[in-house]
Amino acid sequence: MSTNGAAKYPGVTPPIAVTESTPKEKELTASLLDELRRQGMVESENEAKTRTIVLERIAALVKKFVRTVSLARGLPEAAANAAGGKIFTFGSYRLGVHGPGSDIDTLCVVPKHVSREDFFDVFEHMLNDTEGVTDVSGVPDAYVPIIKMKILGIPIDLVMARLALSTIPDDLSLQDDNLLRNLDERCVRSLNGSRVTDEILRLVPNDSVFRDALRCIKLWAQRRAIYSNVNGFLGGVAWAMLVARICQFYPKAVAGAIVSRFFIIMYQWNWPTPVLLKPIEDGPLSVRVWNPKLYPSDRAHRMPIITPAYPAMCATHNVTQSTQMIMTGEFKKAADIVDRVVVGKANWSELFAKHDFFHRYRYYLQIIASTGSPELQIKWAGTVESRIRQLVIKLEYVESLELAHPFIKGFEQVSYCMNDEEVRAVAQGDISEAVAKRKKEDIEGKEGASAVYSTTFYIGLAVEPKQPGSIGPRRLDISYPTTEFTKLVKMWEKFDEQKMGIVVRHIKSAALPDYVFEEGERQPRPVLKRPKKESTDRSSNMSPDMPNKKPRHMLPETTPHTHSHEHFKENGNTLPHVNIATTVDRPPSTAGLYTSNVKDPAEIKSPQLSRGENVTLANAAPGAR
C-alpha cells in the first residue's frame, strides 16, 4: 500500500487490499443478492409508502407536543407555534437496510423549555390518544430513554433530545458539535444515534456495497439469535460499524467479498482491541469520550466498537463474557459455511439457517413477568428484559457454570383464568391444557375470572463437565444471582407487588413449552425415569418468602410473588422445583456449546483471505488501539 493510501481511503489504518474484485467474487455477490431477495429482505412498495406516512404523522405529533408544552409553560401563542420540533431517523432505516416489519429508529428534537418528563408524561399520553397508535410503552430509566410504539402497524423506537435552543427550525442539522453544549448525558446519547448513522455513511468507501453486505450480516445475526443490544449481543449500529470497518479494509471489493472476509476477520479479531472507523476526537465540550486509559468502566468493555461521531462512545458496553463466547462461536460457524460457499460446496441459504437455542442446552432458566393489564404488561416486561443482562453477569460467577446464554426475545401469552388458583399457576409458568385452550369469551361474565398477561424470557445454562475422578454429588447453586435479580427488578420505581409478578425458575429441555418451537421443529420428548422419591408438594416451587397457604382472593391484576431459590443436584436426587429426577450432565457434543465445539483456529480456511492479507490485518488491528 502506498504512503498516500491512508489519506485516500477512510479508516484508522490503510486498506488491506485495494484491488478490484475477481469475476468469481462478483458471481458470489450476484447469488448472495438473489438469496437475500428470496429471504424476503426487501419490503414491498406499499409498506415503504406506509413508513413515509408514519414518519409524517410522528413529525406532526412532535410539533403539536412542543406547542402544547410551550403554552403550558406560559409562552405566547405565536412563540408556541414557532417553537418547532423536528424528527430524525437513524439506525437501519436511515442506513437503507431495513426489511419488512422492521422498526424505525426515530429521534425527536425539542427546544430547551420542553423536558424529558414532558416527553414521558404529555407526549406518551398524546400517543395513547392518537388513532392508529398502539402498544405505547415508555422506558424512561433506560440507558437511552425511549418510547416504543406501533403506528399503522409499523414499530417505532422514539428517543428524545432537548437542545439548548429556544426554537427548533425545520432546517436544523445535527452535524455541529456545538449543539451538544449544556446537554445532559442522556440527551447526548439520544443525539448520538442520528449523528453516528450519518457518520457511518460518510466513512464507507461505497454505499451500495456496504448496504448489500450489511443486509446479509443483519439477516444472519437475526437468524442466529445474536441481534440484540439489550440482551448483551450487538445491536444494529454495532453490526453496521463492523461491516463498515471491513469495507474500509477492502474499499474496492463487492458485497460477496466483504461478507466472505467479515466472518474470518471478526473471528480472529484481537479483542479488546477496539473497532474504530476513524480516530477518536477530543472536543471542547464537557462530555465524556470513550477512553479506557482514563475510565475503568471503559477498560472493562469486552468487545469495544466505538461510534465515529463526537463524543465517541462504546456501542457494545452490554456484551458479557457469555455473549462474547456465543458470538465468537457463531463467527467461526459462519466462516466455515462461507468457506464452503466460495468453493461451491454450500449455498448461501445455509448461512441463514435458524438458530438452535432451544435444542442446545439441557437446562434453562425461565423468567416470567406477568400482570393483569395489557398496557401495564408492556412496561413491566420491558423493564424486566432490560435487566436480564445483569442476571447473566451474575450467573457467570457461579462455579461449575460455563455459560449463561440469554435468548433475544420474550414470548408473550394471554391466559384466561377462572379463579385465583389458575392465575397463580399461570404466573408461575404452569399453564394447564384447559387454560391454554380457553378463549376470552369463555370467561366473560364469569365471577372471579380474569386474564393474565405474561412474557417469558429464557436463559440457556451450560454446565461444566464433571471432572475425572471426582466423587459425590455436585451442586449448582444459583440462588444468589436469581434472588439479586428479582430484587433488582422490584427496585423499579413503578413496581407494584399487587399488580406485577416476577418468577424465576429452572426447567429441563424436555419441559420447554411447545410455543418456543415452530411446527414440526420439536423433537420427540424422551421418556423420563421416575426418581425413587418424588416430591408431590407443589409449594416447593416457591421461594422461602412465598406463602404456602392459598392466598386470599385478589384483584385480577394480582400475580404471585417471586420464586428464585434454585439448586441443581445430581445422582438422581429430585430438583427442588422440578418434580422429575435429573443429573447434571454435560450436553452432548451435538449441542454445539462454544466452549467445546470450536475447532482449532488453524483449521479455519478462507480462499478469499490470503496469507498476505492476514499479515496486513495483524498489523492493522492493533493500530486501532
Packing angle, helices 23-38 and 321-342, rounded to 10 = 120
User: Which residues define the annotated binding site for ATP?
Assistant: 90-92, 103-105, 157, 218, 227, 236-237
Give yes or no for a contact between 482 and 488, defined as CB atoms under 8 angstroms apart: no
Cα four-point dihedral sign 513, 517, 518, 520: negative
The better pLDDT of the pair 577, 62 is held by 62
Lowest mean pLDDT among 169-183, 225-239, 453-467, 603-617: 603-617
Question: What are the C-alpha distances in Å from 138 to residues 151, 160, 534, 585?
Answer: 15, 12, 45, 42
Phi/psi-derived region of residue 152, left when phi > 0, alpha when psi is between -120 and 50, beta in every other case: left
pLDDT for 428 beyond 60: yes
Q: What is the DSSP letter of 395?
A: H
**Known binding positions for Mg(2+):** 103, 105, 157
Q: Which three cell numbers stand for residue 81?
A: 407555534
Q: What is the pLDDT of residues 532-559, one digit of tens each?
A: 444 333 333 333 333 333 333 333 333 3
- Catalytic position from the list 9, 63, 190, 227: 227
- Judge whether residue 563 has pLDDT over 60: no
Please check the confidence at residue 276 and state whether its pLDDT lies above 50.
yes
Are the C-beta atoms of residues 54 and 151 closer than 8 Å to each other?
A: yes
pLDDT for 257-275, tens place per residue? Answer: 999 999 999 999 999 999 9
* Interacting residues of 81 by C-beta distance below 8 A, sequence separation 6+: 67
371 by DSSP, 3-state: which?
A: strand
> Of 63, 148, 218, 333, which is the active-site residue?
218
Return d(Cα 193, Cα 107) in angstroms, integer. 8
**Residues contacting 176, CB < 8 A, separation 6+:** none
In single-letter form, the type of residue at position 264 comes to I
Distance of CA 221 to the CA centre of its chain: 11
92 carries an active-site annotation: yes
Name the grid cell of 351. 448461512
H/E element, 329: helix 321-342
Residues 257 and 438 sit within 8 Å (Cβ to Cβ)? no
**In the annotation, is 218 catalytic?**
yes
CA distances in angstroms from 584 to 356, 462, 508, listed in the order given: 21, 10, 10
Q: What DSSP string describes 151-209? A: ETTEEEEEEEEE-S-S-B-TT--S--GGGGTT--HHHHHHHHHHHHHHHHHHHSS-HHH
pLDDT at 605: 43
Non-local CB neighbours of 505 within 8 Å, separated by 6+ positions:
365, 366, 368, 428, 429, 541, 563, 566, 577
Which has the higher per-residue pLDDT, 409 or 541? Answer: 409
Quick count: other Cβ atoms within 10 Å of Cβ 149? 22
578-581 and 574-575 as β-strands: parallel, antiparallel, unpaired? antiparallel
C-beta atoms surrounding 469 within 10 Å:
5
Nearest to 621 by CA among 309, 311, 322, 304: 304
* Higher per-residue confidence, 537 vs 459: 459
Catalytic residue among 21, 63, 86, 103: 103
Averaged over 295-316, what is the pLDDT? 95
Beta bridge mates, 37:
none
Sign of CA dihedral 362, 377, 105, 45: positive
**Active-site option among 157, 177, 356, 477:** 157
Whether the per-residue pLDDT at 618 is higher than 80: the answer is no
Catalytic, out of 9, 21, 86, 92:
92
Q: Is there a catalytic annotation at residue 227? A: yes
> Per the annotation, where are the binding residues?
90-92, 103-105, 157, 218, 227, 236-237
Mean pLDDT of the chain: 83
Residue 564 designated active-site: no
State pLDDT tens for residues 311-326. 899 999 999 999 999 9
Q: Where does 397-497 have alpha helices with state H?
A: 420-427, 433-437, 479-490
Mean pLDDT of 162-188: 90
Is beta strand 411-417 parallel, antiparallel or unpaired with respect to 146-151?
unpaired
Kindly list the distances between the CA atom of residue 184 and the CA atoms of 5, 20, 68, 181, in Å, as whole numbers in the listed order: 39, 46, 23, 9
User: In the chain, what are the domains?
Assistant: 21-38+203-350 (1.10.1410.10), 43-196 (3.30.460.10), 356-463+477-514 (3.30.70.590)
